[in-house]
Amino acid sequence: MNNPSTPSPLRTILAAGLLAGTLDGLAASIGFYVNNHKSPALVFRFIARGIFGEQASTGGTGMVVAGVLLHYLI
């Protein structure tokens, strides 16, 4: 019988994936800013280019959000 206070394996995997994705995104954003002195939003626009092509480069907040979502999906 499962202990109610023990999280399910699926929940543990999802939480670990969320944590890893967040730390990876932060590392990429901070590293990009420190090395290039440019907005970290460019990192996520670059990710969005994989689906949206060149229009992601000039896109606004929507493309940044799409890049963040794709980052977690990948």
pLDDT score, position 6: 85
Number of domains in the chain: 1
In a domain, 33, yes or no: yes
In a domain, 2, yes or no: no
In a domain, 30, yes or no: yes
pLDDT score, position 74: 86
pTM of model > 0.85: no
**Residues 17-57: tens digit of each pLDDT:** 999 999 999 999 999 999 999 999 999 999 999 999 999 99
User: Largest alpha-carbon pair distance within the chain?
Assistant: 54
Quick one: 32 exposed, middle or buried, by C-beta within 10 A (0-12, 13-18, 19+)? middle
